[in-house]
Structure formats: C-alpha cells, structure tokens
Amino acid sequence: MPATSKAQQKAAGAALSAKRGETKPSELYDASKDMYDSMSEEELEEMASTERKGKPEKKGD
C-alpha cells in the first residue's frame, strides 16, 4: 500500500529503521510507533519507498 502523504511516508521510514535495528523502537512515537507494532518490514518498505513528488505534506492537505 503506497503512502498517501509525505508525513505518512516519513513515519513508515522511521518504523522501518527500527524494524531493521538501525534505531531503537523506544525512539518512535505516534504513527511510526503504531506502524512498527502493526506492519511487517515488507509493508513498511513499500510505504516508505513511495514516490514523494505530488504528495501533500499531510493527509487532507
């Protein structure tokens, strides 16, 4: 599932980093923490790699 906003993509990237052990899960908050807990590494990778061009900063913008 592709990201629908830049903020969602950034949160997925942070969660993916924690899944891979590059950052500590305790450093995550809000959406990225929820994504870390509920999504697989493959799902996070797909969401984080979405093309950014043309995406709103936040969902609904």
The pTM assigned to this predicted structure is 0.84
Residue 27 is given by DSSP the state: G
Q: Is residue 61 included in any domain, yes or no?
A: no
pLDDT band at 56 (very low <50, low <70, confident <90, very high): confident
Q: What is the total count of domains within the chain?
A: 1
pLDDT band at 61 (very low <50, low <70, confident <90, very high): low
Within 10 Å of residue 41's Cβ, how many Cβ atoms?
11
Residue 46 has pLDDT above 90, yes or no: yes
Q: Is residue 57 included in any domain, yes or no?
A: no
Residue 54 has pLDDT above 80, yes or no: no
Angle subtended at Cα 16 by Cα 5 and Cα 36, rounded to the nearest 5 degrees: 85
Structural domain containing residue 41: 6-48
Instruction: With CA atoms as reference, report the closest residue to 43 among 22, 25, 6, 16.
Output: 16
As given in the structure block, the two tokens for residue 21 are 């052990």
Q: Is residue 59 included in any domain, yes or no?
A: no
Q: Is residue 58 included in any domain, yes or no?
A: no
**C-alpha–C-alpha distance, residues 46 and 61, integer Å:** 22
